[in-house]
Copies of this chain bind each other. A is one copy, B any other.
Amino acid sequence: MVTTVVIQLKQISTRFSIAVHILSLVAVIPHECTGDFIAGSVNTNPVIIRRIMGMLKKAGLVEVRPGVGGASLRKRPEDITLLDVYRAVNVTDENQLFRFHEDPNVQCPVGRNIELVLRSELMEAQAAMEQRLAQTTLSQLTAKFQ
Q: A residues bordering B, Cβ < 8 Å?
A: 6-14, 16-18, 20-21, 24-25, 28-29, 40-44, 82, 90-93, 96-105, 108-115, 117-118, 121-122, 124-133, 136, 141, 144-146
Contact = CB atoms under 8 A, between A and B. Distances in A.
Number of copies: 2
Given A29-B110, A43-B105, 17 more contacts: A9-B90, A14-B100, A16-B98, A17-B98, A21-B111, A24-B110, A24-B114, A41-B104, A42-B111, A43-B104, A43-B111, A82-B125, A109-B145, A113-B144, A121-B133, A124-B132, A128-B131
A20 B111 CA distance: 11
A104 to B, nearest CB: 6
What DSSP secondary structure best describes chain A's contact surface?
helix
B7 A40 contact: no
